Amino acid sequence: MGINKKILASVFIIGLLAFGLGFGTYSYFNDTETSSGNTFSAGTLDLKVDGQDDGGTVAHYSLSNMKPGDDTGYYKWVLKNDGTLSGKLSVNFSVITNNDNGLTEPELACDTTGGSHPEGELGQYLKPGIHPDDIPDDVKPYVTIIERNDTEGWFIAEVSAEVDTGGTIGWGPKGWTVPSIVISQWQSGPPHPWGTPGLNGFGGKTYTYGTLDPGAEIAFFFKVKLDSNLQIWDGTKWIEVDDNIIQSDSVQFDITFRLEQVTP
Amino acid sequence: MKNGKTFTSIFIIALVLSLLMFSANQPSASACTLYLGKKIKFDMELSSNVPLFHPTKDSYFYPGSPKITKNLEVINVGDVPFRICMFNAIFYEDVYLATGLQIEIIELGTGKGEKSHLLYNGILNNLGEGVEVNGKRAIPHRKSVTLQISVWMPETAGNEYQGLSMTADIAITVCFPPAHHRGNK
């Protein structure tokens, strides 16, 4: 093989290698552009009860040492939506637990339940609401009943001034001492064979306020009272009961506040 | 001598081809390259330089929240046609949020009876690894295609996403050749 042929062979091999290099790194043309700085944020639902966070959404209650004519006065919780999303605010009462706490000597004369938990009677005599006719006359001008059910024995009313309609639950401005939206339960006869459900009737029930927007605050009010003269419905009429039947009795329950996402 | 001429011709052809292919492999935001001996520009632009998504102008995400939809135009400012071929994303801050968001990207039709084409529908987080897609239309020089991008949080998302916030850079890649033969990942 001559020198020229060797040179040509070398040139051919180099060319072939160069082709292989180019072929091996072949790819598509491409171009990339970026949409930068897109921000995605998940909202928050954060209910604060009296400024408290976790653990403050459940209020544990025990009512005891009460006597006929007692009034607890209004309990009040200020509820704030501290999140970024609107939420549906509601309050739930747990089952009301009635404790007899033993039987005192006067109680023995009228209480035949044996005196052990959970056969206390206090819950059924604690009245969480009043009949519309029992709203004080000086308060009535400020009260507008917006819904009333005589069969089930309840009404919902709006109160335009800071006046007390009587024992009830409800919602109101955080600066008020009484509710401005009243939910009153007064049932005094059928379909409840034992008469007024009392506080026991609240057991397991949920009351919804509505939508609480971010940053908004509302107060929840609750109070119960005992009549001076305890009565029970016997199916046809009210009858007197020995007031001693509630001696040493107590009730326990939880109130749970809940803020739920509003479904679109 | 005849053999010498043959070898020289083969060498020159091989050299030209290798140069052509090597230069085609250089990606660039404004790729000027040789294409069949002609200097061409392979380039695209997005219609918007500002972030598409922001909670102050949209809203916060929550389980079952409505889709937040934005349009983004991809414009061919080069000389050769292209197709949408890949999406990528880089996430910052609360990157876990990307696992709780869905994204849907649709290549809209041109309005002349052309149907829209779904490019991707899945978890936003997947864009972090890059998702190859099949653009339906070859976009010619000076034309554009509109991408409809929707993001939402499914109803199944839980409280673990509450309050999370992240930033995402979403990259769109277009490719040549325009032949519709690329496979989806």
Provide, as residue numbers in chain B, all residues whose Cβ is less than 8 Å from the Cβ of A259.
none
Q: Are residues B57 and B123 in the same domain?
A: yes
Residue the block writes with tokens 């052990």:
A116
C-alpha closest to that of A108 among A248, A251, A250 = A248
Residue A245 pLDDT > 90: no
Q: Within a domain: residue B131?
A: yes
**pLDDT tens-digit profile of A210-221?**
999 999 999 999
Residue A193 pLDDT > 70: no
Residue B132 pLDDT class (50, 70, 90 cuts): very high
DSSP structure string for A147-189? EEETTTTEEEEEESSS---SS-EEEE-TT-SS-SEEEEE---S
| Burial environment of residue B184 by CB neighbours within 10 A (0 to 12, 13 to 18, 19 or more) | exposed
ipTM: 0.77
Structural domain for B21, as ranges: 1-36
Predicted local confidence at residue A251, as pLDDT = 92
DSSP structure string for A53-94? -TTTTEEEEEEES--TT-B---EEEEEEE-SSS-EEEEEEE-
H runs (alpha helix) in chain B: 2-24
Q: Are residues B7 and B88 in the same domain?
A: no
Q: Are residues B171 and B146 in the same domain?
A: yes
How do the domains of chain A map onto residue ranges? Answer: 47-261
> How confident is the model over A22-30, as a mean pLDDT?
57
Question: What mean pLDDT is reported for chain B?
Answer: 83
CB contact under 8 A, A35 and B72: yes
Residue A159 pLDDT class (50, 70, 90 cuts): very high
Smallest CA–CA distance, residue A207 to chain B, in Å, is 24
Residues B185 and B181: their CA atoms lie apart, in Å, by 13
Helix axes of A3-24 and B2-24: crossing angle, nearest 10 degrees: 20
CB contact under 8 A, B8 and A8: yes
Among A5, A28, A261, select the one facing B63 at the smallest CB separation: A261
Provide, as residue numbers in chain B, all residues whose Cβ is less than 8 Å from the Cβ of A5.
3-4
Written as one letter, the residue type at B170 is: I
Residues B83 and B135: their CA atoms lie apart, in Å, by 5
Predicted local confidence at residue B57, as pLDDT = 87
**pLDDT tens-digit profile of A117-127?**
557 888 888 88
Residue B79 pLDDT > 70: yes
Q: Are residues B59 and B101 in the same domain?
A: yes
Q: Are residues B2 and B64 in the same domain?
A: no
> How confident is the model over B28-42, as a mean pLDDT?
57
Residues A120 and A65: their CA atoms lie apart, in Å, by 13
Predicted local confidence at residue B32, as pLDDT = 45
Provide, as residue numbers in chain A, all residues whose Cβ is less than 8 Å from the Cβ of B78.
31
Q: Which of A182-196, B22-36, B171-185 is predicted with the least confidence, judged by mean pLDDT?
A: B22-36
Residues A121 and A137: their CA atoms lie apart, in Å, by 32
Smallest CA–CA distance, residue A45 to chain B, in Å, is 8
Structural domain total, chain B = 2
Among A15, A33, A41, select the one facing B14 at the smallest CB separation: A15
Provide, as residue numbers in chain A, all residues whose Cβ is less than 8 Å from the Cβ of B14.
15-16, 18-19
Residue B5 pLDDT > 50: yes
Q: What pTM did the predictor assign? A: 0.74
Residue A23 pLDDT > 50: no
Q: Are residues B115 and B165 in the same domain?
A: yes
Q: Within a domain: residue B9?
A: yes
CB distance from B72 to chain A under 8 Å?
Answer: yes
Q: Within a domain: residue B180?
A: no
Q: Are residues B129 and B154 in the same domain?
A: yes
**pLDDT tens-digit profile of A84-97?**
999 999 999 998 89
